[in-house]
Amino acid sequence: MCPAKPVPFDDTITIDTLTRDPYPIYRRLRQEAPVLRVKALNRILLTRATDTRYVKDTPDLFSANDPNTPMLRAFQVHTLMRKDGPDHKRERMAMAPAFAPKVILNDWVPAYRRFAREYIDRLATGEVVNLFPALSAPYAARGLAHLLGLDEASDDEMQRWSQALIDGAGNFGWADGPFAISDRANAEMNSLFDRLAPRHLAEPNNSAYSVMLNADDPIAQSQIRANLKIAIGGGINEPRDALLTILYGLLTNPDQLAHVRANDAWTTAFEEGVRWVAPIQVSARLVREDTEIRGHAVAKGETVMTSQASACRDESIYGDDGENYNVFRDKAPHQAFGNGAHFCLGTHVARKAVAEVMLPMLFDRFPNMSLPDPEAVVWSGFGFRGPLNLPVRLA
Ligand code: HEM
């Protein structure tokens, strides 16, 4: 057997370029260097679909508990996203009843319909409106606040807390500023959790907070809070960005939009949108034992970064067409919701909120909606990615 090769090293890729547009880089790396130590990331970057799936499906070798991230500092608590095995499972299961298919159908879908109608009613016909602040962000925030049992939080608070947690967790330079902001957000969230606990205990309901508080064998108070914070930090950006991405894909491809409308194929439009631009682009895992990936030696203690963004465009699955939004493609599995033990808990609710509720209602209300200047849309993000604006003419 040949000895394992060292992992090749790159010091040219910058976080700035990845943030502006990582896709040409990923395309090149999938061909030339699918296992690459990237200096700017201080991690081994994996860009092929087989490798990203393998890492997430093999928790015995690759732990979610990467101690090198500022997440613990930002969240002020060790969350389920950074746990493995039974500890992870117990905390995940504590929140799971709020995401059960029946609860989604009976509780959350009707609520999402109410919110969608209310927020679409506010939009002015005939005008060019930026749907990021006017629709997708507040809709994602309101639905999540309701599902978590935090209705008293305003849309602005939910968005601000979410961003504060994300910025803190991504503060790899360990600067003081982002942590001061996340500390303030934590204090505000904790105070809301304290205020709402008596009501959820007195009037049990299907919201995540109530379900966790009223469980027969509840998890620790600190972990109930941690779960709520993970959902706040990881449950607003993605449906918000997915909705905008899908609208961009459909409005710039009228033949696809016509097909989706004629066939009520909103779920296909949704899956293709999250595949095309994965809202959560990368994840980190800590290597537990000396091992090899694609014949490269990867040592215990290293951190690998799986790019589901890249996996979602891998030529071995999508041929040469992976770079395009294309609802006509043959059905193929994607990794936008991750896989393995940490597979996204919000998958079904996000699919319902965006594909089943919002998209058809929006096109029903504005059948001639258009994107006058696609070039004006600014895309950004390395960890989380989506359009920063979507100026749409509503007609
Ligand atoms: C289009 C929408 C969404 C996308 C693309 C998405 C994507 C993801 C991905 C890729 C992960 C796994 C990260 C990893 O492996 O490290 C994840 C985890 C998670 N997501 Fe989502 N997400 C979405 C919406 C939501 C929503 C709406 C919620 C909450 C209501 C949510 C809650 C969670 C939670 C709690 C986890 C952690 C699960 C665990 O560690 O066991 N997500 N999500």
**pLDDT per residue over 332-377, tens digit each?**
899 999 999 999 999 999 999 999 999 999 999 999 999 999 999 9
161 has a pLDDT exceeding 70: yes
**For a pLDDT cut of 70, what percent of the chain falls above it?**
100
**Distance of alpha carbon 234 from its chain centroid, rounded?**
6
Q: Is the Cβ atom of 239 under 6 angstroms away from ligand 1?
A: yes
CA nearest to 312, candidates 363, 242, 387: 242
Say how many Å lie between the CA of residue 332 and the centre of ligand 1: 20
In angstroms, the CA 242 to CA 129 distance is 18
Averaged pLDDT of the chain: 97
Reported as half-sphere exposure (CB side, CA atoms, 13 A), residue 318 has a value of 25
Looking at residue 3, its pLDDT comes to 85
Q: What number of other Cβ atoms are within 10 A of residue 102's Cβ?
A: 9
- What is the structure's pLDDT at 1? 62
Answer yes or no: is the C-beta of 280 below 6 A from any ligand 1 atom.
Answer: yes
Q: List C-alpha distances in Å: 170 to 84, 187, 230, 347.
A: 21, 19, 14, 23
Regarding the beta carbon of 103 and ligand 1, being less than 6 Å apart is answered: no
Which pairing describes strands 282-287 and 62-63: parallel, antiparallel, or unpaired?
A: antiparallel
Q: Please check whether residue 94 is in contact with residue 218, taking contact to mean a CB–CB distance below 8 angstroms.
A: yes
What single DSSP character describes residue 294? T
* pLDDT of amino acid 66: 81
* pLDDT score for 370: 98
Q: Which atom of ligand 1 is nearest to the CA of 351?
A: 1
Ligand 1: does its nearest atom lie under 6 Å from the Cβ of 94? no
- Which pTM does this prediction carry? 0.97
Answer whether 116's CB lies under 8 Å from 357's CB.
Answer: yes
pLDDT tens-digit readout, 201-230: 999 999 999 999 999 999 999 999 999 999
Closest CA to 287 of 9, 4, 124, 54: 54
pLDDT tens-digit series, residues 385-395? 999 999 999 99
In this predicted model, what pLDDT tens digit does every residue of 1-45 receive, in sequence order?
Answer: 678 999 999 999 999 999 999 999 999 999 999 999 999 999 999
Structure-derived torsion over alpha carbons of residues 366, 111, 343, 48, reported in degrees to the nearest 10: 10
For the chain, how long is the longest CA-to-CA vector?
68
Structure confidence at residue 68 (pLDDT) = 74
Burial of 60 (0-12, 13-18, 19+ CB in 10 A): exposed
Joined together, the tokens standing for residue 313 give 């465009």
pLDDT score of 67: 75
Indicate whether 168 pLDDT > 80: yes
Q: Is the CB of 149 under 6 A from ligand 1?
A: no
pLDDT at 69: 82
Q: Is the CB of 140 under 6 A from ligand 1?
A: no
Which conformational region is residue 278 in: left (phi greater than 0), alpha (psi within -120 to 50 degrees), or beta?
beta
Please say if the pLDDT value at position 120 is more than 80: yes
User: What's the pLDDT at 302?
Assistant: 96
**Separation of CA 240 and ligand 1 centre (Å):** 13
Query: Domains plus CATH for the chain?
Result: 9-393 (1.10.630.10)
Which residue among 344, 347, 352 is best mutated to probe the pocket of ligand 1, counting the most ligand atoms within 8 A of its Cβ? 344
Pocket residue to mutate for ligand 1, from 229, 238, 384, most atoms within 8 A of Cβ = 238
